[in-house]
Chain A
């Protein structure tokens, strides 16, 4: 596969390591009343879509950026690649 890195252009997927669902960015609030349940869901419950999937890839043999890659699990078509840091900020994560 080829991942079109937002900064570096098309790069071979072999340069990356895969983590999984990009929902891992949405780490729950530890002080919430439902923290235990929230972390359980965060840690263990994943959808397994036959189709578009947003997932985290790390450019380990490259610039060490985490990327959010939108990949179709049926065709491997990659429709979007974003810097995970930008995604995290857009989702309201900060410090």
Chain B
């Protein structure tokens, strides 16, 4: 294919020929093209199908506001749907496909919807699919889902990387058009740290699309020279291909830099995109303005586009939208397109200007006071029907029509903090209001000052004012002479009497839909938006919202500012999910915490389980074991019969020191710690202030003024936070210092009747039962002098110890324990066996301390000291938590030992209904007890302490299980505690 519509010298590089495909057909473009400009150069106006009616569509714009020309880019894992052809930078080998079609782009079977349009108007879904209800899931939804949507996902993992990053600056300049470049020059020369971001791959904004001179240079050359000067300044960071997508509180901005989107494949190790979080002491919005279309019958055919876009294709890309074009305008700016294209040899059929006093031209015909009232052309524009001022009809044979309905300042970012734009009559558009995000100023066309001269001067002035405020001494330069035309626009929104005149081309919302919404009583602009879906497409109504507001205003007899705008929200343009996720995907979704025995456990073929970020050994399968239960049962039995070892490093550890350390623990635990002797450990239960149990653990008194506190693995951080709250906010004069030592120590439980014998081979001190009884603790040494800590505590119910050494020695210690324990067949056990043994022993854990239970529920009501004040002690006494029939922790065993006892099941009386009203309690933890040979469980039962021996039903409607069970003591093993004191 030849580039039949490539007319003349744009800013593309004819020496760089780029091959690409669209719907499988090969085309050629030039370096500097977008996909849209390259397709237009090849005479391809049709680029997509509309969302609802599947109407043939071509590009409306030449920028990020594009509603129509959405394509699927690339293939495989890199396939990207809904990409705007108008911003996709062309590269050699690019592959693109049209989307939202059934069949080919030319013969889309779903274009039948266009014939059914009378039934598919606003509110169609709400009205049609109301009933019968059963039809929704079975019939309507599958059909709608099949037909709806735009592009498709590949459902293959994206192979590319996405980075996040953080930038700091004195001034963030958003947009590198004339205003932004002028501002950046002032800011850069002042020495301030400046970031200049622009969504385009070529900075310069409209300067690249216009033919104006700045001084003795073309605008585009001035932009190039200015960017080159800025690039030499070390304090200026240029971010082309970077869209600032949101303005957040206190000068924080989000921006997406498309680092590799213009490459077929990113360089190795390099990200495709970066999400920047920018901390800006000041920000200057130079986002320019967006032209708006005009509503008339069939104004959506391929070839009909914004006049400014037509000019961009002509001047910047050297591409004529067609050989014969016409312009439909209500303002002087539309005439520029005609003049520029005429100068490039494009035939201007006519400029249709709604204003009777339209400016004349010697080069082409101007139809003053005329309107385009309809168009023809099935897959692209062929004729435009014009009604002249005197009412006579005229047909223009054209392949492209430029629409110019005036310009809207791009106020979006000024409204991200709920600022409201204000109406400006001169430009017939909304301009930034006063209530801007903190630290923001606006310059150039974004303020409604549309001339190049105004852009240069307001950019420089606004930048200087902000910088002076920050303590810099900027010197605004003399501005070069340039275009300074006043804005001359007469509002004209749509041709009277039109129906299928498109406002929102992406969501297929027409003038008729807005009228229907009004007729049906949708008077608020937000309701209009949701009922018609006007402005709810991926372009967020950048080209369509104003038209809708104008029609609403007219119908309601109000002014446009009285109707108001919908709320502008980030992101400014569509943003990929990948860049929002950054590197936190797959295995890197969160960091992993490894225990000191991890390497050793891997060598033992341990199966690991994620516990928060921790990876813990769940069990250690031995060869021949085919089911996890075999491994777990063996680990439990071996521990109970001889000795087992388990890495318990993950439990939170907090070092509590200071003269008031014991008083402090008295506050955070409901039970007393003041009298705990040095060298002793005590179980502690922590309540929330509302009396509900928060966490439990142990506190070991290493010295008069030094405790080591443990928390559960999951609550390590919240408990530490709570302890700091109590220390800093409640008892600020207590002499107590806190620091987490969770990862500083490798800590292992050594449990079982032979645990002492094993440890005696490692510990340098006397640990006989007399020297080191149950609940003793001490700083000790191991293996001939390594500093260590020993605690005689037991979670399993056996004679047990926890031994801790500095983390770096954790690997050496576990290997030494295994060696020393070989004669006792020491068995490593994982979290499953740990869980089984604590259930057998009746120890509460996270399932029981579940955020709804009290000390009383847990059977520890008497632990709550009434002799002292502690967090939660007062409210734990309130009536609602102390009723006779309250839940109590109990044990559960099946009457028939073969029956399952599912966790999560509910307890019901032996007879009677099974429903919520008759619920007696529930099961929190369940396990198979290899010691007892059947399943056991812990749970809560109403008045449970007095129900031991009672037969009940355990029902789990979810799993369909109903089991006859007997209520038992929670302490299935060694209820007297003889073993752990042995």
Please report the number of residue pairs spanning A and B whose Cβ atoms sit closer than 8 angstroms. 86
| CA gap between A58 and B725 in the complex, in Å | 8
Stretch of B210-218, B249-257, B340-348, B448-456 on the interface side: B249-257
Closest CB of chain A to B726's CB: distance in Å?
9
Say yes or no: A66 contacts B869, CB within 8 Å: no
A17 proximal to B (CB < 8 A): yes
**B871 to chain A: closest CB distance in Å?**
9
Any A CB within 8 A of the CB of B228:
no
**Count of A residues near B, CB < 8 Å?**
40
Residues of chain B contacted by A88 (CB below 8 angstroms)? 728-730, 732
Contact of A58 among B438, B689, B721 (CB under 8 A): B721
Rounded to whole angstroms, the CA-CA distance of A68 and B700 in the bound complex is 33
Q: Which of A25, A76, A83, A94 interacts with B250 by CB under 8 Å?
A: A76
Scan B721-736; emit 1 where CB is below 8 A from any A CB, else 0: 1001100111111100
Chain B: CB-nearest residue to A66: B728
Choose the segment among B295-303, B537-545, B594-602, B873-881 that binds chain A (4+ C-beta atoms closer than 8 Å).
B873-881
Q: What 1/0 flags go to A55-95 for Cβ under 8 Å of B?
A: 01010100011100000000111100001111111000111
B730: which A residues are within 8 A, CB to CB? 25, 27, 88, 93
With a CB–CB cut-off of 8 A, which chain A residues contact B886? none
CA distance A1 to B717 in the complex (A): 23
B721 near A17 (CB under 8 angstroms)? yes
Residues of B within 8 A of A31 (CB): 869
Helix, strand, loop or mixed for chain A's interface?
mixed
CB distance from A87 to the nearest CB of B (A): 8
A42-B689, A58-B724, A64-B724 known; A2 and B732 CB under 8 Å? Answer: no
Contacts of A83 in B (CB 8 A): 728
Does any Cβ of A come within 8 Å of B388's Cβ? no
How distant is B275 from chain A, measured CB to nearest CB, in Å?
14
Whole-angstrom distance between the Cβ of B228 and the nearest chain A Cβ: 34
Q: In whole angstroms, what is the CA distance A88 to B248 when docked?
A: 32
For B252, the chain A residues whose CB sits under 8 A away are 1-2, 12
Is the C-beta of B663 less than 8 angstroms from some C-beta in chain A? yes
Complex interface: chain B residues within 8 A of A10 (CB)? 279
Cβ–Cβ < 8 Å partners of B728 in chain A: 65-66, 83-85, 88
The contact of A19 among B660, B725, B873, B875, by CB within 8 Å, is B725
Interfacial chain A residues near B724, Cβ < 8 Å: 58, 64, 66
The complex places the Cα of A75 from the Cα of B250 at a distance, in Å, of: 10
**In the complex, chain B residues 396-447 whose Cβ is within 8 Å of any chain A Cβ:** 417, 438
Q: Are B250 and A93 in contact (CB under 8 A)?
A: no
CB within 8 Å for A1 and B249 given contacts A30-B873, A58-B721, A95-B660: yes
Q: Is the CB of B732 within 8 A of A93?
A: yes
Q: Is B690 an interface residue (CB 8 A)?
A: yes
B660: which A residues are within 8 A, CB to CB?
A: 95
Chain A hits for B689, CB < 8 A: 27, 39, 42-43
Query: Please, which residues of chain B bring their CB within 8 A of the CB of A93?
Result: 729-733
CB pair A39 B874 closer than 8 Å? yes
Bound CA–CA A44/B880 (angstroms): 15
Residues of B within 8 A of A28 (CB): 874
A36 touches B734 (CB 8 A): no
Question: Given known contacts A2-B279, A17-B721, A94-B731, is B249 in contact with A36 (CB within 8 Å)?
Answer: no
Taking the nearest CB of chain A, how far is it from the CB of B433, in angstroms? 15
Q: Given A2-B252, A36-B878, A76-B249, are A60 and B732 neighbors across the interface (CB < 8 Å)?
A: no
Cβ–Cβ < 8 Å partners of A19 in chain B: 725
Q: What is the bound-complex CA distance between A93 and B733, given in angstroms? A: 8
Within 8 A of A (CB), among B707-744: 717, 721, 724-725, 728-734
Asked whether, in the complex, the Cβ of A35 is within 8 Å of the Cβ of B874, the reply is yes
- Complex Cα distance, B687 from A39, in Å, reads 14
Chain B 239-278 per-residue mask, 1 if CB under 8 angstroms from chain A, else 0: 0000000001111100000000000000000000000000
Q: B261 to nearest A CB, angstroms?
A: 27
Closest residue of B by beta carbon distance from A65? B728
Whether A2 lies near B877 (C-beta < 8 A) is no
Given A30-B873, A39-B875, A76-B250, does the pair A89, B732 have CB atoms closer than 8 Å? Answer: yes
* Of the residues A2, A43, A75, contact of B875 by C-beta under 8 Å: A43
Report the Cα distance A40→B689, complex, angstroms. Answer: 10
Chain A 15-45 residues near chain B, CB threshold 8 A: 17, 19, 24-25, 27-28, 30-31, 35-36, 39-40, 42-44
A40 pairs with B279, CB closer than 8 A: no
CA distance A69 to B725 in the complex (A): 15
Bound form: Cα–Cα A17–B720 in Å: 12
In the bound assembly, the distance between CA atoms of A78 and B249 in angstroms comes to 10
B732 touches A94 (CB 8 A): yes
Expressed in whole angstroms, the Cα–Cα distance for A83 and B729 within the complex equals 9
CA of A17 to CA of B734 in the docked complex: distance in angstroms? 24
- Residues of chain A lying within 8 A (CB to CB) of residue B731: 93-95
Contact in complex: A30, B875 (CB < 8 Å): no
Task: Give the Cβ gap from A86 to chain B, nearest Cβ, in Å.
Answer: 8
Q: Is the CB of A66 within 8 A of B877?
A: no
* Cβ B875 vs Cβ A95 within 8 A: no
Question: Which of B251, B663, B733 has the most chain A CB atoms closer than 10 A to its own CB?
Answer: B733
Q: Is the CB of A24 within 8 A of B729?
A: yes
A27-B730, A85-B728, A95-B663 as given contacts; A40 in contact with B875, CB under 8 Å: yes
User: Is B729's CB under 8 angstroms from A2's CB?
Assistant: no
Contacts A30-B869, A36-B877, A64-B724 given: A85-B249 contact, CB under 8 Å? Answer: no
Residues of B within 8 A of A78 (CB): 250
**Is A2 a contact partner of B690 (Cβ separation < 8 A)?**
no
The residue in chain A whose Cβ has the minimal distance to the Cβ of B248 is A1
Which of these, B249, B663, B717, B721, contacts A2 with CB under 8 Å? B249
Residues of A within 8 A of B250 (CB): 1-2, 76, 78
Contact A56 B729 (CB under 8 A): yes
A contact residues around B869 at 8 Å (CB): 30-31
In the complex, A7 Cα to B721 Cα: how many Å? 19
Chain B residues with CB under 8 Å of A94's CB are 731-733
Contacts of A66 in B (CB 8 A): 724-725, 728-729
Interface residues of B in 353-379 (CB under 8 A from A): none
**Cα-based distance from A65 to B721 in the complex (angstroms):** 10
For the complex, give the distance between the alpha carbons of A77 and B721 in Å: 26
Residues of B within 8 A of A85 (CB): 728-729, 732
Bound complex: CA of A86 vs CA of B249, how far in Å?
Answer: 27
In the complex, what distance in Å separates the CA atom of A25 from the CA atom of B689?
Answer: 12
| Contact residues in B for A30 (Cβ distance below 8 Å) | 869, 873-874
The smallest beta-carbon distance between B282 and chain A, in angstroms, is 14
Q: How far is B721's CA from A60's CA once the two chains are assembled, in angstroms?
A: 8
Within 8 Å CB of B717, what residues of A?
60
Task: Give A52 Cβ to nearest chain B Cβ, in Å.
Answer: 16
How close is B852's CB to chain A, nearest CB, in angstroms? 16
Complex formed: what's the CA distance from A10 to B249 in Å? 13
In the complex formed, the residue of A with least CB distance to B878 is A36
Q: Determine the distance from Cα of A10 to Cα of B733 in the docked complex, in whole angstroms.
A: 27
User: What residues on A are CB-neighbors of B663 within 8 Å?
Assistant: 95
Residues of A near B279 (CB, < 8 A) are: 2, 10, 12
Question: In the bound complex, do residue B249 and residue A95 qualify as a contact, i.e. CB atoms below 8 Å apart?
Answer: no
The CA of A64 and the CA of B717, in the complex, are separated in Å by 11
Closest residue on chain B to residue A76 by CB atoms:
B249
State in angstroms the CA–CA spacing of A60 and B250 once bound together: 20
Question: Is B733 in contact with A95, judged by CB distance below 8 angstroms?
Answer: yes
Closest beta carbon of chain A to B882's beta carbon, Å: 12
* Residues of chain B at the chain A interface (Cβ within 8 Å): 248-252, 279, 417, 438, 660, 663, 689-690, 717, 721, 724-725, 728-734, 869, 873-875, 877-878
Closest 3 CB pairs of A and B: A30-B869, A2-B250, A94-B733
Can you report 25 residue pairs joining A to B where beta carbons are below 8 Å apart?
A: A1-B248, A1-B249, A1-B250, A1-B252, A17-B721, A24-B725, A25-B729, A36-B875, A36-B877, A39-B874, A44-B690, A66-B728, A76-B249, A77-B438, A84-B729, A85-B728, A85-B732, A87-B729, A88-B729, A89-B732, A93-B729, A93-B730, A94-B732, A95-B731, A95-B733
Q: A87-B729, A88-B729 are in contact. List 10 more A-B contacts (CB 8 A).
A: A10-B279, A12-B252, A30-B873, A36-B874, A58-B721, A58-B724, A60-B717, A76-B250, A88-B732, A94-B731
